[in-house]
Amino acid sequence: MALYVYAITNDSHPLDLEGIKGVGASPSELRAVRGESLCAVVSEAPEDLSVARRDLEAHHEAQERLWADGTILPLSFGFVAPDEESVRAVLEERAEAFSERLEELTGRAEFNVKGLQDEDAVLRTVLEESEQARMLNEATRDGSGTYQDRLALGQLVAEEVQRRQEALAGEVLAALRPLALSEQVAPPSQQYFVNASFLVENERGDEFARTGRELAERLGEGIEVRVRGPLPPYSFS
């Protein structure tokens, strides 16, 4: 019987699995597969598993419930093992590495930080602060101006937006890095000028979250800094 695997824990974890729903349209109960010193939390693998909101939420909810009671190594969504023997074999084969990582993550949590900038606000700022952009904007308003003017305006605005977003990302990272033990920074996207995960000591969690909130206030109009956490160490397991 194929098994869906959610997380790995020490055998000392309470493993209070009552009421936790697994993945799938008709989820089975979660249970533990035990090795000598480690456990894997599993359920029967559903045939209808999909990367849909229902299953993603069930996957993360199970991990967050487990993490609330003790340190875990959360596995990525979609990890399926052929059977219980295969799960136990991996627990034994990688016992030392898993145990070391569990120890390293004890007393620590992940915080995810996303920075967003309102498009209209940043365009207004560019036009207010760049004389060249203002001139080109006036020249091309209402469809007037040459093709070269419109091309130059588009290029100038894109460069200014990128420069400002890089500066904002640098400011956010510089403020939060001293409070974290480790980080994983994703490349900036059209949606987020910064998207990073930080591993933070539990005793610094409140300070980290407060610093994130203060950043948004300091950075000004049209800028949002979203801090989500504490979370299981998804990015550091």
Q: What is the pLDDT of residues 14-67, one digit of tens each?
A: 999 998 989 988 888 999 999 999 999 999 998 878 877 889 999 999 999 999
Q: What is the pLDDT of residue 146?
A: 67
CB 39 within 8 A of CB 99: no
Q: What is the largest CA-CA distance in the chain?
A: 75
The helices-and-strands tally (H runs, E runs) of the chain is 7, 9
Residues of the chain with CATH 3.30.70: 109-132+160-236
- The predicted pLDDT at position 233 comes to 95
Ramachandran angles phi, psi of 114, nearest 5°: -125, 135
Rounded to the nearest 10 degrees, how much is the dihedral formed by the CA atoms of 158, 159, 165, 168? -150
pLDDT at 140 over 70: no
The pLDDT, as a whole number, for residue 208 is 97
At 44 the pLDDT is: 93
**pLDDT tens profile 221-231:** 788 899 999 99
Give residue 142's pLDDT. Answer: 64
CATH classification number, 109-132+160-236, choose in 2.60.40, 3.30.70, 1.10.287, 3.30.9 = 3.30.70
Least confident range of 26-35, 126-135, 181-190, 216-225: 126-135
From CA 189, how far away is CA 42, in angstroms rounded? 35
pTM: 0.84
Q: Which of 143, 126, 144, 71 is nearest to 101 (CA)?
A: 71
